[in-house]
Amino acid sequence: MTRVYNFSAGPAMLPEPVLNQARDEMLDWRGSGMCVAEMSHRGKEFMAIAAEAEADLRELLIIPEHYKVLFLQGGASLQFAMVPLNMLGDKGRADYLNTGSWSKKAIAEAKRFGEVRIAASTEASRFTCAPAQDELSLDPDAAYVHYTPNETIEGVEFPYVPETGAVPLVADMSSTILSRPIDVTRFGLIYAGAQKNIGPAGLTIVIVREDLIGKAQPFTPTMLDYKIHAENGSMYNTPPTYAWYLAGLVFKWLKGIGGLSTIAEINARKAQKLYAAIDRSSFYHNPVEPSARSWMNVPFTLAKPELDETFLKEAKAVGLTTLQGHRSVGGMRASIYNAMPEAGVDALIAFMQDFERRYG
Ligand code: PMP
């Protein structure tokens, strides 16, 4: 068996111990005689799996009791609609920070439901930086402020959490959740698609302060109302049971290696090495302002774009896969989420240096 280092932006690598455990438990989960995927979501085995996953996530992120954790479906993209549907309330307007491709999508969707103010935009500098706190023009009467702490496509990460006073802060943490410790109390709502740092695609996690639940627009479909999911322990309908179980194994793995402070050290080191290798070379280039460079997604271009295909082909041949940049920006992108071993980053750097020697 040969496993590759997969630099995909998502679905991304899962920790090998998690995959091994899932394999060992595949046919018979701990004497139940069943695969988790075959279990009733209301049976006592699955209820225990679900509760333990939530408890572990709460422990990792230090989620206070007055926040609900929801295990939903529909991806982060459905949250682009659920957030305004549930949170615009009587105010009817919200502030959005426009910092890249994913915040743009969130903005477009929110406009279907209410008034959207752009409180800051980095589009003029082609989304290569994060706006500073004093560049945010925030409306104190907004229902909420939405931002994307890590823009997966552009590789831009906020180096700080915006201060929004009494206005709830909503964060699309799809590509940064669990990469480092955060102070959950700074946020009204956090959401994330699972397929990067949590587990397989098909699961979406929402962490929401209780007082923000129960304010959905009257026309909100039942399945899109946070209140329904909160009241039913995310089991109003059949939840994505197997993805929930695998996420639970990922949380256990994270706890086992020392939690978020440990993974943050590893992530910082992985990112620093890769950016240092790019900056040292005149062959590779990353356009993002150093203070706003993502720990998770590292886009870079080659000085000779005509070599892009050769780069990808040769990388693949040595087990370094899915390095092509997003189709909207081109070039390369190395996504180095929690489950990417440091050895994978070392192998990529060695390959890049060798490639530059041969073609640079
Ligand atoms: N937001 C961000 C920051 C993302 O990276 C992604 C997926 N790459 C999405 C939203 C969309 O997520 P999903 O495919 O789960 O809807």
From first to last of its 360 residues, the chain has per-residue pLDDT tens of: 789 999 999 999 999 999 999 999 999 999 999 999 999 999 999 999 999 999 999 999 999 999 999 999 999 999 999 999 999 999 999 999 999 999 999 999 999 999 999 999 999 999 999 999 999 999 999 999 999 999 999 999 999 999 999 999 999 999 999 999 999 999 999 999 999 999 999 999 999 999 999 999 999 999 999 999 999 999 999 999 999 999 999 999 999 999 999 999 999 999 999 999 999 999 999 999 999 999 999 999 999 999 999 999 999 999 999 999 988 888 999 999 999 999 999 999 999 999 999 998
Does the annotation flag 230 for ligand binding? Answer: no
Q: How far is the CA of 35 from the centre of ligand 1 (A)?
A: 29
The secondary structure element, H or E, covering residue 43 is: none
Q: Catalytic site residues?
A: 102, 172, 196
Nearest 5°: CA angle at 142, between 136 and 146? 60
Ligand 1, atom 15, residue with closest C-alpha = 75
The pLDDT of residue 55: 98
Atom of ligand 1 nearest to the CA of 10: 8
Candidate from 7, 71, 77 with most ligand 1 atoms within 8 A of CB, to mutate = 77
Query: Are 123 and 97 in contact, with CB atoms under 8 Å apart?
Result: no
The candidate with the shortest Cα–Cα distance to 45, out of 57, 33, 56, is 33
Is the backbone peptide bond immediately before 11 cis, with ω within 30 degrees of 0?
Answer: yes
| Architecture category of domain 16-256 in CATH | 3-Layer(aba) Sandwich (3.40)
- Both structure tokens of 89: 């309330």
192, β-bridge pairs: 205
Burial of 153 (0-12, 13-18, 19+ CB in 10 A): buried
DSSP string, 232-251: TTT-SS---HHHHHHHHHHH
- Both structure tokens of 336: 């180095």
**Length of the chain in terms of residues written:** 360
Domain ranges of the chain: 16-256, 258-359
Cβ–ligand 1 distance for 8 under 6 Å, the answer no
- Both structure tokens of 192: 């994330």
Q: How far is the CA of 33 from the centre of ligand 1 (A)?
A: 36
Cβ–ligand 1 distance for 84 under 6 Å, the answer no
The candidate with the shortest Cα–Cα distance to 339, out of 5, 25, 76, 3, is 5
Q: How far is the CA of 192 from the centre of ligand 1 (A)?
A: 8
In this structure, whether the domain defined by 258-359 belongs to CATH 2.40.30.30 is answered with no
Candidate from 152, 203, 327 with most ligand 1 atoms within 8 A of CB, to mutate = 152
Count of beta carbons in the 10 Å neighbourhood of residue 26: 11
The candidate with the shortest Cα–Cα distance to 334, out of 307, 301, 309, 297, is 297
DSSP string, 264-318: HHHHHHHHHHHHHHHHH-SSEE--S-GGGB-SSEEEEEESSGGGHHHHHHHHHHT
Q: Cα–Cα distance between 189 and 84 in angstroms, integer?
A: 12
Q: 3-class SS at 6?
A: strand
Cβ–ligand 1 distance for 76 under 6 Å, the answer yes
Claim: this prediction has a pTM higher than 0.90: yes
Burial of 58 (0-12, 13-18, 19+ CB in 10 A): middle
Amino acid at 88: L
Q: Cα–Cα distance between 342 and 260 in angstroms, integer?
A: 16
Q: 3-class SS at 131?
A: coil
Q: Cα–Cα distance between 106 and 51 in angstroms, integer?
A: 30
Question: What is the phi-psi region of residue 286: left when phi exceeds 0, alpha when psi lies from -120 to 50, beta otherwise?
Answer: beta
The pLDDT of residue 294: 98
Side-chain half-sphere CA neighbours of 216 within 13 A: 19
Does the annotation flag 216 for ligand binding? Answer: no
253 phi and psi angles, rounded to 5 deg: -60, -45
- ipTM (interface pTM): 0.99
Does the annotation flag 150 for ligand binding? Answer: no
